[in-house]
Amino acid sequence: MDAGNNLNNSNSKNKKSILFSANLGFLYKEKPFLERIEAAKKDGFDGIECHWPYDTPYIKVQNVLNKTQLPLIGINTHPGNLKKGFFGFSALPKYVDKAKSEIRKSIDYGVNVGIKNLHVMAGNIIQSQYSKKTFCDNLRYACKLANKFKINILIEPLNSKDHPNYFLSTIDQAIEILLEINLPNLKIMFDFYHVHHLKGNFLLHFQQAKKHIGHIQIASVFKRNEPSNYEFDFLKDILNDDAIKKPLWVGAEYKPQTGFVKDGVNWIRHFK
């Protein structure tokens, strides 16, 4: 997140204080990837983010980003074969070389499309001293490579209901890893939906994590549809928190209730 002015009561300042990026892994899934970028521009998003754009040559992505003038806020490292149970490699002791290779590929791709953040996926594995050490070592590697290009490395706790085998499953665990590694470009991806389904009090989780947050994602809590007034109130509280730098990028990672973004995208104008 970039430094900027704090929120005040004027509408113009409010618009500059929060920027929404469309998560193209969830939104516009009926369209080819490059057309999703153009659709996000048309619907009023300030930028885009996506999971795994690697099947699309970066030069084609560059061209559409230049055309739409939308920044690409972040991408994820490749998850591996989802059907075989992979969801990243960086905490898997048997896949250290693979993890580093995917990190290098992601940073190379990301530099060419101008990303601000790279989410390094931990993978599905039981928590142990070996998996933690592997994850920390790979994150150090990623941070040092990414720092050359002013890219933040993100880690994201995922709730155990949706992702029962994922290595990183609590805010406490994420903070412990950040403090152990102690590198300035390692941050937490604070996903409103996932954190709400973690054990413990949501607001307490936010207070614990706020100085470590590098990116925020939102969706309605229960069905992961369009954000609602409940999520808006949370964002307004964040914008009034002087500890959070502005402008604040917020990723819209939700499942459109009707299956089509256009049917419910008025939430952006409603919030602003």
For 146-195, the pLDDT digits (tens) are 999 999 999 999 999 999 999 999 999 999 999 999 999 999 999 999 99
Residues linked to residue 191 through DSSP beta bridges, in sequence order: 217
Q: Which of 156, 176, 226, 231 is catalytic?
A: 156
Active-site residue 49, yes or no?
Answer: no
Q: Which of 49, 226, 231, 253 is catalytic?
A: 253
81 Cβ contact list (under 8 Å, min separation 6):
none
Helix (H) or strand (E) holding 106: helix 96-113
Strands 18-23 and 248-252: parallel
Burial label for 34, CB within 10 Å (0-12, 13-18, 19+), is middle
- More confidently predicted of 62 and 10: 62
Q: By percentage, how much of the chain surpasses pLDDT 70?
A: 94
- Segment 5-30, tens digit of pLDDT: 332 333 334 445 899 999 999 999 99
pLDDT at 129 over 90: yes
Determine the Cα–Cα distance for residues 57 and 190; give it in Å rounded to an integer. 29
CA angle 29, 70, 263 (to 5 degrees): 40
Query: Using the 8-state DSSP alphabet, how is residue 5 labeled?
Result: P
Active-site residue 253, yes or no?
Answer: yes
- Segment 209-219, tens digit of pLDDT: 999 999 999 99
Tell me the CATH number for domain 11-271. 3.20.20.150
Q: Which residue type does 157 have?
A: P
Place 2 in a pLDDT band, splitting at 50, 70 and 90.
Answer: very low
Determine the Cα–Cα distance for residues 272 and 268; give it in Å rounded to an integer. 6
